[in-house]
Amino acid sequence: MDYSDLMKLAGGHVEARIVQAAVELEIFETMGSHALEAASIAGSLDLEPRATELMLNALTALGLLRKRENRFSLTDLSARYLKRGAPGYLGGMIRFEASLWHCWASLTEAIRSGRPVRPADMYQENPTETAIFIDAMDSLVKARGDAEIMADAFDWDNAHELLDVGSGPATYPISLCQRFSNLRATIFDLPATLALTECYVREAGLSSRIRLISGDYRVDEIPGSYDVIFLSNIIHGESFEVNQRLMVDLSSLLKPGGSIIVKDHILDSTRANPPVGALFSLLMLLTTAAGRCYAADEVTAWMLAAGLMHIRQIDLPAPLNSSLIIASKEAGVKNSC
């Protein structure tokens, strides 16, 4: 790392805020497939013309717009990810990142106190926050193609009953059920989230194959027996002890020979790599009671304590920046219940 790299780190918020503001202002939607002058874009969005031109020039400098003869147009990248309605639209995630701005501004406070700087409510108390969070999760998974990669990373042919714990917008079970006709899914999630999940499932036409159960896995019993249990980005929101207990509880729901799949930012033994996980742990400090990213040896220890076996880690390909840890229940072991 040199001086220039250090300055990029110190001032990285500038680029982030420009992109977030452009999405919030709906600049990319307004431009569509046309090349427009700054004054035209400003008029369409009721923005100040001079300020709008400065913003458009900055977006051009960042590679998100193309400028020719004072007319601005979308690049292939912005048309794919930043224009609403595009299959890879990432606006939901960008809006969520913008909503975290005040949290990151209070990082020094969190480091001093060790406590979150917003209510650690899993985005359940404020309907607007719930909608922004769930839309972000759906937006991110669809833009990166997570569900398709997940479908290829595991043998789903013999899976008939899937439990997705903390599924959010149901992006994974919807995609998996659409691809595998043998699969039925159960989603267990918090009440405010599940009210939105129902809309995603209904719009996908899968209400008959995906059932929704409201509850909190920290205190409520999950009914049923499953071939596969999936936890995507769940463990990083909880303490070591909660995760350890959860793994035991979930193991008891597995059919003999069934599997638990954990998808998350999995750290190595240094707890500092991969970098995305180490940085993400600070977001968990800001927003959860005791969450952080965990190392593979920690997840493995929970699984072994829960009686699981054949534990393996799969590092997912780019653009994903997470890993799977998969464990199975011995084929001859029956559920105690």
Q: How many helices (H) and strands (E) does the chain have?
A: 16, 12
Residues 6 or more apart whose Cβ sits within 8 Å of residue 143: 81, 88, 89, 90, 93
Per-residue pLDDT 10s for the chain (337 aa) are 999 999 999 999 999 999 999 999 999 999 988 899 999 999 999 999 999 999 999 999 999 999 999 999 999 999 999 999 898 999 999 999 999 999 999 999 999 999 999 999 999 999 999 999 999 999 999 999 999 999 999 999 999 999 999 999 999 999 999 999 999 999 999 999 999 999 999 999 999 999 999 999 999 999 999 999 999 999 999 999 999 999 999 999 999 999 999 999 999 999 999 999 999 999 999 999 999 999 999 999 999 999 999 999 999 998 889 999 999 999 865 555 4
Select from 3.40.50.10470, 2.60.120.10, 3.40.50.11540, 3.40.50.150 the CATH code of 110-328. Answer: 3.40.50.150
DSSP letter for 215, please.
-
pTM for the structure as a whole? 0.94
Torsion of CA 264, 165, 150, 262, to 10 degrees: 40
Cβ atoms < 10 Å from Cβ of 67: 15
CA–CA distance, 88 with 279 (Å, rounded to integer): 25
Task: Tell me the CATH number for domain 3-85.
Answer: 1.10.10.10
Q: Which of 170, 168, 166, 173 is nearest to 151 (CA)?
A: 173
CA–CA distance, 70 with 79 (Å, rounded to integer): 19
CA–CA distance, 218 with 214 (Å, rounded to integer): 12
Q: Do domains 3-85 and 110-328 have the same CATH topology?
A: no
Q: Where are the domains of the chain?
A: 3-85, 110-328
